[in-house]
Chains A and B, each alone.
Chain A
Amino acid sequence: MKIDKSLQSGSTTMLILKLLEKEDMYGYQMIETLELRSNNVFTLKAGTLYPILHALEQKGLIAAYENETEGGRKRRYYTITEAGKELLKEKEKEWAAYSGAVNKVLGSAFARAGLLGGI
């Protein structure tokens, strides 16, 4: 199912931080993991991901280091910092409040629609 981009854009930072909370990742891995976990709902383009990652790094929310793969390639891994973890907590709370409120509104609307349908 395709999701409206504006819905996703507000939460991308939170999703990236959440991914990095579990383990350090490189860009491609993040996109793959995000797709996998969201059943292909969140398809992030690389062109969107890297500017966000670089901005987060400049803000000190994540840090980067380089690691060599078995093939001798250098990959840039990202790891979450303490400041990033704190922000993630805040964002999660914010999201819980927001989604709860949306669900409540939608839930009551659905309920009313069901009632009307019954009449």
Chain B
Amino acid sequence: MRENEAVWTGETDSHKTKVRAAADRLSAVMRSADFWRGEGRLLLLVLAVSAAGVLIQHVLDIRLQAEGLYNWKIYIPIGIAGMLALYRAEFSLPTKRPAVVYGFSLLNCLILMFFLYYATTGDRGFYEMYYLTIALIPLYAGAVFYFKDKGTRGVACCSALLAVGLVPPAAAFSLRQNSALPGAALIFLLTGAFVVSDAIYRGHFGKERKKQLFLFWGSGIGAAALAWAAGLFRWITWRESLITRTELVRAFIGNIGFTRGLSPADMEQANALFYPAALDNFITHLMMKYGAWSGLAAVLLFAVFVYFMLRRISGQPDPGRRMMGMSIAAAFAVSGILYTGTNLGAFSLYGIILPFISWGKIGFFLSAALMGIFLSCCRRQSPEQASQASEQQAVEIQAAAHPAAELQGAKCHPIPVREAFLTAVCRQIRCEKAHPLVKEELESHIDDQLEANLKRGMALSEAEEAAVKEMGDPEEVGQLLDQTHKPKPEWRIIALAACITLLSGFLQWIMNIEQSSLVIDNWLLYAPLGFAVMAQIYFLDVMRLCRRPTAVYLLITAVDCLLLLFLRYTPLQVYWYREGIPIYQLYLVLLSIPFFAAAVYQYRGRGTKGAAACAALLLVGMYPSFMAPSLTGAVILGLSGAALMTAAILKGHFGAEKKRCLASFWGLAAGAAAAFCGLTALLLPYRFQRLIEAFFPLAAGDPLGSGYMPSKLFELLSGSAFFHGMKGNIYSGVWRQINENRLFSNFYLLNFITIKYGIFVSLLVIAAFIVFLICLIKVVRKQKNTLSWLLCASVVCVFGTAGFVYVLNNTGLVSFSAGILPFLSADVTGYLICCTLLGVFLSAGKGNSYIRDRDLGQGLRRNLNRDVERGPDEDSSDENGSGENGRRQRPCGGWKLRFLGYQLNLQIERRAEAAVNTEGRTHDENR
């Protein structure tokens, strides 16, 4: 199992070893003299500033407000540890898609905000939007770096992204007037403007600097003027009380001297007016208590800190790191200016923090995280890294500039032409998972051509160059292949999901069932939100997210058990149970099924034992559902898992012995089910009776007790006409009964449709759902690699079984706990869970029908231990003596040495001779 996980994740070391190794590396870095000349000093400054912050907050005695200060002994070490961890991590820019990362962070902010809006009351939670906006700043810098050399178009894009970045705080402010949000927007805007202006000044976008500056500031000022005209600036001075507060600050500050604070009488008045003292007017308080010098000292300390930050980062030679670091330093500087200005009564931007001096818990963690990234950006590359990077850059430049001409002239170049060609091709292909296949195939072709060239009598290097030249222009080839391997979203599925969501909204509208709590009451808001969630999951690499599926699956199960154990007996159970139904338990189960599918993937080729292990996992996952008790969850998980396993076994996923694997899985599953039923019947006869009643409510249930609802549903159904609903008195009677008993619920949507419009319309709804399922199945059948297949199939199984159980429940044939009809009938969370699952489906199935299983494994492994993989190849070439001259060898397999035969040996001899000659010459010259 462990070995298998290692293959899956590419990890060969245990966690402890890794943590130890990371700590060793960190201590090695911290022991070096370079560190203490650069980042070390800044680290000490951070500690000094934080200590000053703690001290000042302590003397001001504003602990009640600064809850972070209560536990500073815990928060500061955690923050510093996080900072050091981020410092060790590589924030190498350009990241792959910074603009995309930035966009998705924005989207996340918006989603979170809507959740906060509906989940909380008052300003609670909205203050965190301030931190999120500040955290966006380095991401924005990354996005700016991405537009390198893009000229005025790049500048325009950066301006647009800056404007988009203001959307989350502005939208949040429109929902809840939190005083921190205008400050956050202003910090983001000013820092962003500084980053772009600095980039233009340094020629990041190209040569026409004046034009770019004019465009950026012109468009910015124009947009600001428009916003002013539209009245958008009103929200800066939005609350009278804040302006009054500012005026009071001005009045009190006018009364203080340099070395003395307010007089006792004034102080009493100030305390009465300003109580409770908060973090956002921290310097005002300090000055009122001790005189102007104290506030000045605090500001000076912070200014020195920011000055050293700016000085250190401006010397960074790497433009990407400099830009990201500069953005953080600028954000700190702008925060400092706005904070000080507010404290002196110049602005009314309350609610912002002064990093490391005036902070709460999250504020400190955010500052520490930003500082960690900053320190990482400050780090100069070691000479070894620098040489590696420049070599890599040379390969890329050589391949990108003009490959054919460059490659021709690269006879004595140390970088192999083949590697340059393949790198250039792969650079054009955006789908990274297709890289191994493309590389392997093209390399095989080059080898064939090389072999032919050698037979024609060419020398090795000449033959290789000719073979690569024959391949054509790498950029053109890459672009053509990119078109083929471009991830193609299943638009049909997305369109179908949209149609079904529309249908759901329509049904709920015509059924007029918004009174129930389990209804999408804000359909217009949640439908787009659901699709946004789907899009997010789609763009995430689900295959990579499922790295430790068994652990995650078991964790979900454990969390489920714990919540059931503890929540049930607390007032918090209202969040877990809706109308007496543990609905969230069902959602956890639904979410766990894709992880189960990924766990099944881990047991591939393990035969009967693997199948038995999967059966055991499935049974473990079903346990909390029985505990809840939520029979729907248990049945959905059981049926989906069993269907998935059966299909996987029949596909030969566990090996050739399909019958034995089936027997193993079903034997264990059926045995456990029988044992469960037997034990329940013996030990808990009451529960067993309930179980029987749930499966056969019409036969075994008490028509006045547990079987009331099913028998009523069945009665209503059997009394319904096919083409029209109930008529006249019967209809109004039933409807009144439903209304009076508050039976409106999405759980029985199909039933209500039948009562109102007849069985035919219900069947049409079911048919629409089945069409959706069939389309999903078609996509599953297209999947070529096993993990995609399993993930997609698991989602189909979840939807299929959930739909099946829902329909059975609605007919009254069974009486399980409430379920959902995916996309058609669910509450808000249920709908979002369905969107998440469909996102998993789309992400797993996107355009990677061309990826082989082994590429998947390699892809995950490649990044982690590339060197380990290369090892044996290099050893084999060393055995032949080619490593002696110290040149970096292109990784090549043993087979190549075999088929190249004497040519390679000749080449090695020539190289050795050349090396000896060069050495001899140098020796002579030295003499």
B477 touches A51 (CB 8 A): yes
Q: In whole Å, how far is B441's beta carbon from the nearest beta carbon of chain A?
A: 5
Residues of chain B at the chain A interface (Cβ within 8 Å): 438, 440-442, 444-445, 447-449, 470-474, 476-477, 480-481, 483-485, 849-850, 893-895, 898-899
Q: Is the CB of A50 within 8 A of B447?
A: no
Question: Taking chain A's interface residues, is the majority helix, strand, or loop, or is none over half, making it mixed?
Answer: helix
Contact of B449 among A28, A50, A58, A73 (CB under 8 A): A28
B895 near A73 with CB under 8 A, answer yes
Of the candidates B440, B442, B472, the one whose C-beta lies within 8 Å of that of A48 is: B472
Residues of B within 8 A of A58 (CB): 484, 849-850
**Which chain A residue lies CB-closest to B479?**
A51
A50-B441, A57-B850 are known; give 19 further A-B pairs, CB within 8 A.
A28-B445, A28-B448, A45-B470, A46-B442, A47-B476, A50-B477, A50-B481, A51-B481, A54-B481, A54-B484, A55-B484, A58-B849, A71-B899, A72-B894, A73-B444, A73-B447, A73-B895, A74-B444, A76-B444
A interface, CB within 8 angstroms of B = 26-28, 45-48, 50-51, 54-55, 57-58, 71-76
* Bound: A49/B569 CA distance, A: 68
A73 and B480 alpha carbons, distance in the complex (Å): 26
User: How many angstroms between the C-alpha atoms of A74 and B436 in the bound complex?
Assistant: 13
Chain A residues near B440: list those with CB within 8 A.
74, 76
4 closest Cβ pairs, A-B complex: A47-B472, A47-B477, A51-B480, A28-B448
Q: Are A47 and B484 in contact, with the CB atoms below 8 A? A: no
Q: Nearest A residue to B467 by beta-carbon distance?
A: A46
Knowing A27-B445, A73-B444, A74-B444, the reply to whether A46 touches B472 (Cβ < 8 A) is: yes
Whether the Cβ atoms of A46 and B445 lie closer than 8 Å is yes
B483, A51: Cβ atoms under 8 Å?
yes
Q: State the CA gap A26–B441 with chains docked (Å).
A: 9
B477 neighbours in A (Cβ, 8 Å): 46-48, 50-51
A residues within 8 A CB of B899? 71
Closest to B475 in A: A47
Q: Using a Cβ cutoff of 8 Å, how many contacts connect chains A and B?
A: 66
Chain B minimum-CB-distance residue to A28: B448
Which residues does chain B contribute within 8 Å of A57, judged by CB atoms?
Answer: 850
Contact A45 B480 (CB under 8 A): no
Q: How far is the CB of B437 from chain A (nearest CB, A)?
A: 8
CA distance A28 to B477 in the complex (A): 16
Q: B residues within 8 A CB of A26?
A: 444
Q: Pick the contact of A47 from B444, B471, B485, B893 — CB < 8 Å?
A: B471
In whole angstroms, what is the CA distance A76 to B447 when docked? 13
> A58 to B444, alpha carbons, bound, how many Å?
21
**Residues on the B chain within 8 Å of A74, using CB:** 440, 444
Q: What CA separation (Å) do A72 and B896 show in the bound complex?
A: 9
Q: Are B472 and A45 in contact (CB under 8 A)?
A: yes
A8 to chain B, nearest CB (A): 15
Q: Which residue of B lies closest to A45 (CB)?
A: B472
Instruction: Tell me, rounded to whole Å, the shortest Cβ–Cβ distance linking B489 to chain A.
Output: 15
Residue of A nearest to B474 (CB): A47
Q: Which residues of B contact A45 (CB under 8 A)?
A: 470-472
Q: What is the CB-to-nearest-CB distance from A33 to chain B, in angstroms, rounded to a whole number?
A: 13
Cβ-defined contact, A27 with B472, below 8 A: no
Partner of B895, one of A50, A54, A72: A72
CA separation between A46 and B471, bound complex, in Å? Answer: 5
Least Cβ–Cβ distance between A54 and chain B, in angstroms:
4
Q: Which residues of B contact A27 (CB under 8 A)?
A: 441, 444-445
Whether A75 contacts B444 by the Cβ 8 Å rule is: yes
Write out the residue numbers on chain A whose beta carbons fall within 8 Å of the beta carbon of B476: 47
- Nearest Cβ distance between residue B209 and chain A, in whole angstroms? 39
**CB-based nearest B residue for A54:** B484
Q: In whole angstroms, how far apart are the Cα atoms of A45 and B441 in the complex?
A: 14
- Complex formed: what's the CA distance from A48 to B543 in Å? 31
CB of A64, distance to nearest CB on chain B (Å):
9
For A46, list chain B residues within 8 Å (CB).
442, 445, 449, 470-472, 477
Cα separation A79 to B6 with both chains bound (whole Å): 35
CB of B470 within 8 A of CB of A51, answer no
**Can you list 10 A-B pairs, Cβ within 8 angstroms, ordered by A?**
A27-B444, A27-B445, A45-B470, A45-B472, A46-B472, A48-B472, A50-B481, A51-B481, A51-B483, A58-B484
| A58 and B848 alpha carbons, distance in the complex (Å) | 10
B residues less than 8 Å from A73 (CB atoms): 444, 447, 893, 895
